[in-house]
Amino acid sequence: MGSLNEPIRRPLTLDVSGLPSVAFGHRNTTWLANVFYMAIEGMMFALMFAAYFYLRTRSTDWPPGHLPPGLRYGALNALVFVVSTIPAWIVKRRAPDCNRRAVRNGLLVLALFALAATVLRVFEFSALNCRWTDDAYSSTVWVLIGIHSGHLVTELIETLVLLAISFTPKMEGTRLADAAINSDYWYFVVVTGLMVDFLIYGTTRFL
């Protein structure tokens, strides 16, 4: 292990040279960081949801003096979200197989869905039937959908960056693992989006 000059100090050894140098799935440390990140953002959503229901208890009328947010674009976007899980799943499935082409195509389709969702989101904002300065209800609705839009846009950009990398020779082990983790985060965006939709479009109609 060392030169002859080293003192005779021979502990036993544990040889790890045969271990893989990249991991997919839950063994990957970036996966763990992503889980923590989803916990943080999930907690923020949970608190915003709690704030929404708390403000509801302080009001007799809900929505107070507004029509509920218009359904059309929200429903369309919910559909886009649900279908978008398919390319996300494909990326996740193909990445460990080192199928660079499938991953690249999956990222491309996913990016298109994310773009579509973003565009639809703009229309959603205009169909909310209220302005954030109107009252606490309006503020909450705008901020709920606003925070989620932040995640959506971040995800869109991240998917585009990964897509760009997938066209370069740098798309090797760790980057493929990153693409799979990106799909996990996309699922998070979809789930939180559907929950926000439920609150904004659903509970305003039956609460």
Specify the residue, 77 or 140, whose C-beta has the smaller distance to another protein. 140
Whole-number Å distance between alpha carbons of 119 and 144: 17
Specify the residue, 12 or 101, whose C-beta has the smaller distance to another protein. 12
Told to check if 137 binds another protein by CB under 8 A, we report yes
Told to check if 126 binds another protein by CB under 8 A, we report no
C-alpha pair distances (Å), 76 with each of 21, 55, 83, 117: 43, 28, 11, 9
What does the longest C-alpha to C-alpha distance in the chain come to? 86
> Which residues lie closer than 8 Å to 70 by C-beta, 6 or more apart?
127, 128, 129
Told to check if 184 binds another protein by CB under 8 A, we report no
Whole-number Å distance between alpha carbons of 40 and 34: 10
**Minimum CB–partner distance for residue 104 and another protein (Å):** 15
Q: Which stretch binds another protein (CB under 8 A): 29-37, 112-120, 121-129, 188-196?
A: 29-37
Q: Which stretch binds another protein (CB under 8 A): 67-75, 106-114, 129-137, 185-193?
A: 129-137
